[in-house]
Amino acid sequence: MPATRLLFIRHGETDWNVEGRLQGQRDIALNAKGRWQAAEAGRRALGLLKRHGLNAADLSFVASPLGRTRDTMERARLGMGLAPTPYGIDDRLLEFDFGDWEGMTWPEIKVRDPDRHKARKAAKWGFVPPGGESYAMLAGRVKPWLEEIVGDTVVVAHGGVARVLMVLVGAVSNLVAPAVEVHQGRVLLFQGDRFSWV
C-alpha cells in the first residue's frame, strides 16, 4: 500500500440492494436513497479532509465504470464542494462478476443451486460462481491498480472491491474479509495497513 490516504466510497443504494439481488457487473441505477447517500459520503469525506488540513481539489478521483459508481462519484464530489467532473475511470475497479447468479437473491440461489451455495459458504474467498469470479480473482485485478496509486485518492467502487482492499493492505485475512459489512453513504479510510469508517 502506498504511503497515502485512500478514501473509499461504496456506491449508494439501488433497488436491487433493497431486494437483496446480486448486482455484480450489471449496470443498476441508484435509487433516491442512494443518491442521498452519495452526497452524504461526499460531505463526510470533506469533513475528514478538513480535519487533516487537506484540500479536496488536490486529491485524485477514480471510479468503477458502472453508472451507479459514476453517479455516486459525481454526487460525492458535489458534496465536497467540487464540480461533478473530472475524475478517472478504471475497469479494474468493477465489482466481481457473479456470472449466472447475477439478478438472483441468496434464497433463490440456495433453492436453484444448493450444492454451489453450500460450497461458497464453506470457502467464500476462493469460490467462483458459475461463469463468474472469486474474491481471489478480484484481488488479482485490483492489486495492480492499488500499487499504481500516487497521492491521496478518493475511489468510488463496490463492496467486493472494498473487501479485497482490506486484504491487500493487510488489515484483515481473506477468511474474515468476505463477511465484513461495507456501508453505503459513509467513507472507508485506508491508511497504511489499517482502515476505519468515517
Which residues carry out catalysis?
A: 11, 95
The count of C-alpha atoms lying within 13 angstroms of the C-alpha of 66, restricted to the half-sphere facing its C-beta, is 23
Read off the C-alpha cell for 141: 485485478
In whole angstroms, give the CA distance from residue 48 to residue 37. Answer: 16
The CA-CA-CA angle for residues 181, 182, 187, to 5°, reads: 140
Phi, psi angles (nearest 5°) of residue 125:
-60, -45
Region label for 140, one of left (φ > 0), alpha (ψ between -120 and 50) or beta (otherwise):
alpha
Q: For the chain, how big is the Rg over CA atoms in Å?
A: 16
